[in-house]
Structure 1
């Protein structure tokens, strides 16, 4: 049934038709947005899975190297070697817009461009296993940042997909059918009013003809 506040007039009918056209166009755009978000979301999920496996494998390898370094060196030597870092890393965070979603982008810069500055110790009293462990952690850093980007992007996209899906469902199953029903209701009312008007006009015409005929019989003409 149409809502009580619907006024069955031609102006209201025109207004509802315009709203329906806009809603149908918006529904199509939102569906396209949802589909594109889903495509990019699935690509990110696959990339996230591959990166997580790579990062976990590399971290396990770095931990293995650290264990080997501790096995071949005294704890005091390892602690002193890693006590005062020589290199510093500065993280820069920004965002990029993907389908109305602000995706984080992480970038980093080092204090010095020299790759050997990651070693904060001399090589005379340390083992090569410690060098390999430190180098492994340095190599993991870009993948870890990209993994953080992907995981946060997946969370934001999932939330946007859910929001878009709700809007699509609201338009498809509530608003558009309600507008079409109201348009049908107004058309039916207008047709009914038009038929009623025609019937009244026909009755008035018959009454006028009947009255004119009676006047003729009484000789008024």
Structure 2
């Protein structure tokens, strides 16, 4: 609520300018929210496709691993996979989605899996497990990065939505109410001033008539 002492034309102009600026900021935030939602929905579609691909390869590798148990004890299989089949160097960077920083992760070199267990006494089906998992590695890393980007974008969309709602339902109505109060006080002051002038005019006229 504005101070009654500040109920002036200058204060009314200030509030009107503040309202115009606030509405402009609200439109910009709303546009940002809409664009982030559009990119989010597009990202979700790509995420679903990539996730299905990763899961299908992962399940295939698990099925093959389970099949290998028919030829090897589980403890023996675990021992054969103690040494990693490959190593990776990842390149980390950041990009922006509507001024929001999101991670980018890339594999620096081609994945070239190596068989680290002895071929002697080992069923060839294990090789298929290694190849399947290796072919899934790049997509798995891309999926992890995409998942992180989506989570960051969701938080930013929620934060922007709260700001948009606060401006639309709290700040703008408060400024409009302040403008109404200031305008009412100005009208009251002008009416009071008009009445005072009219009374002064009547007194002057009465004095002039009496003197005549």
Whether these two folds match at TM > 0.5 is yes
**Unmatched tracts of structure 1, length 5 or more:** 217-221
1:146-171 CA distance string (max 9 Å, x none): 21122222221111111111111111
Offset at 1:22?
Answer: 0.9
Counterpart in 1 of 2:182? 186
1:7-46 equivalences under 5 Å are 7-46=6-45
For 1:13 and 1:84, how far apart are their aligned partners in 2? 76
Offset at 1:121?
Answer: 4.2
Offset at 1:86?
Answer: 5.6
Counterpart in 2 of 1:55? 54
1:61-210 equivalences under 5 Å are 61-73=60-72, 78=77, 81-85=80-84, 87-110=86-109, 115=112, 117-121=113-117, 123=119, 126-210=122-206
CA RMSD of aligned residues (A): 2.3
- CA contact under 8 A between 2:86 and 2:111: conserved in structure 1? no
Counterparts in 2 of 1:159 and 1:104: CA distance versus 1, 3 Å:
same
Offset at 1:80?
Answer: 5.7
**Unmatched tracts of structure 2, length 5 or more:** none
Offset at 1:87?
Answer: 3.1
Offset at 1:78?
Answer: 4.6
For 1:29 and 1:8, how far apart are their aligned partners in 2? 30
Pick the structure with greater CA Rg. 1
For 2:157 and 2:73, how far apart are their aligned partners in 1? 54
For 2:63 and 2:210, how far apart are their aligned partners in 1? 118
Offset at 1:125?
Answer: 5.3
State the TM-score, normalized to the length of structure 2. Answer: 0.87
Offset at 1:58?
Answer: 0.8
Counterpart in 2 of 1:219? none
Counterparts in 2 of 1:8 and 1:72: CA distance versus 1, 3 Å:
same
Offset at 1:81?
Answer: 4.5
1:102-160 CA distance string (max 9 Å, x none): 211111234xx583x53334656544322211111111112111211222222211111
For 2:174 and 2:155, how far apart are their aligned partners in 1? 27
- CA contact under 8 A between 1:90 and 1:109: conserved in structure 2? yes
Counterparts in 2 of 1:75 and 1:165: CA distance versus 1, 3 Å:
closer
State the TM-score, normalized to the length of structure 1. Answer: 0.84
